[in-house]
Amino acid sequence: MSEKSSPQPESGPSPIGEISQEPSAFEAFLDANQKKLIIVAILIILGLVAFVIFDGLRKLSAQNAANDLADARTIAELNTVSKDHKGKNAGGTALIFKSQLLWRDQQSQEAIQTLEEFIGAYPEHPAIGNAYTSLGSYHQQMGEIEEAKKAFNQAAEMKTSSASSLAILSLGDLARSAGNEDEAKAFYDRVIHEYEDSHFQVKGMARKRLKLIGVAPPTEKRPDPTPSAVQPAPSTSTGPITIPSPTPQAPPSAPSVNEKAEGSDEAEVPENELGELPELELPEETPSSDTPQKSESPESAPAK
């Protein structure tokens, strides 16, 4: 009889394998490149520190340049700023201000040359569009129409510039001055439609100019109305009125004592222009030796 075989264990889940204690790939990479990673980290930190220092110096330099630009008032001072801060925005802005002072002092060619110098040296300057527009305006005022159109077209292509719409408007004005009203209308419409949410002031100017399309400006002055031949009315005014001065009159003579006695109880006093005069109380006359006696009238003389 064969030997009894030992019972086989029932089939079930396999036992959990042992966890490997070996380092992972990432840990192995860190161990192998630890020194290199430390060096890279140090370089990154140094780079950040250098950037902070450089940015601080740049801001300080820009602040100093801005202060120098703000203090400049004359052409000589602006020349100094443009040289000391050459290549910076402040140096370019100094050239723009210089051109404005030159134009104000009626140095037209020098102002144009300064703007051309700025355009050539600072093509990325934030005010490059304004410079082209100013250049076109200078040429326009000097009667150099073709040069003005070139500068305005350059400014019109710079959509981010605040003066681009003004340059297009100026192109429309040049076309209208030349009698090309259809071309002028196209430029004015372009300002209105290309700048829907900005440049509101320039768009208002373009709308006003559109209303003038087809309106002929007055060429002759209306003649003054011919005055009708109307005889002047006779003057009713009279010359100055002369008031005659009153003729002086001699004061009335006082009645004598005899006349008073022969008259009525109340002697009448003649009236003058001033009204009635009050009665006068006459003192009694005392004949003196110096006073000659009054001669009797012929009527009172005794008859012979």
Alpha carbon distance 103, 138 (integer Å): 8
User: What angle do the packed helices 75-84 and 34-71 form, to 10 degrees?
Assistant: 170
Q: How far is CA 283 from CA 252, 255, 257, in A?
A: 17, 12, 10
Domains recognised in the chain with CATH numbers: 46-111 (no CATH), 126-214 (1.25.40.10)
- The DSSP element (H or E) to which 90 belongs, if any, is helix 89-104
- What pLDDT digit, counting tens, does each position of 18-36 carry? 555 566 777 777 677 777 7
DSSP notation for 30-77: HHHTHHHHHHHHHHHHHHHHHHHHHHHHHHHHHHHHHHHHHH--SHHH
pLDDT of residue 266: 45
Structure tokens at 63: 């602040």
pLDDT band, residue 243 (cuts 50/70/90): very low
Q: How far is CA 253 from the centre of its chain?
A: 89
Alpha carbon distance 217, 179 (integer Å): 12
Q: What is the dihedral of CA 46, 52, 58, 61, to 10 degrees?
A: -110
Q: What is the mean pLDDT of residues 60-77?
A: 86
| pLDDT higher than 60, residue 281 | no
Q: What is the mean pLDDT of residues 65-82?
A: 92
Mean pLDDT of the chain: 75
Q: Are 168 and 159 in contact (CB under 8 A)?
A: no
The whole-model pTM stands at: 0.56
Lowest-confidence pick of 107-116, 126-135, 172-181, 270-279:
270-279
**More reliable by pLDDT, 292 or 149:** 149
